[in-house]
């Protein structure tokens, strides 16, 4: 469960104007998130066990289904 303001989907500010989400990875798996102006991780919006799941969710937009308005 995310805490309000913990991720961009849950109310955090974008790291910079024009920031866009991307599929990224860690040794533990894959996620959709944002990087800061230096290219370092800023937020991890979602987690997936496989790269294929992350890419599919990113492309079809389903990763945003729990977005708070």
| Digit-coded pLDDT (tens) for 33-45 | 999 999 999 999 9
Q: In what order do the strands lie in the sheet with 41-48?
A: 22-26, 29-35, 41-48
Q: Which of 59, 62, 61, 63 is nearest to 44 (CA)?
A: 63
Q: What is the pLDDT of residues 19-34, one digit of tens each?
A: 999 999 999 999 999 9
* Span 58-62, average pLDDT: 94
Q: What is the pTM assigned to this prediction?
A: 0.84
Tell me what pLDDT residue 36 has: 95
């Amino acid at each position: 469960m995310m805490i309000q303001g913990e991720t961009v989907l849950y109310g955090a500010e974008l790291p910079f104007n024009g920031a866009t989400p991307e599929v990224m990875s860690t040794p533990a798996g894959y996620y959709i998130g944002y990087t800061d102006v230096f290219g370092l991780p800023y937020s991890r919006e979602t987690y997936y066990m496989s790269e294929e799941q992350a890419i599919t969710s990113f492309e079809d937009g389903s990763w945003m289904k729990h977005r708070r308005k």
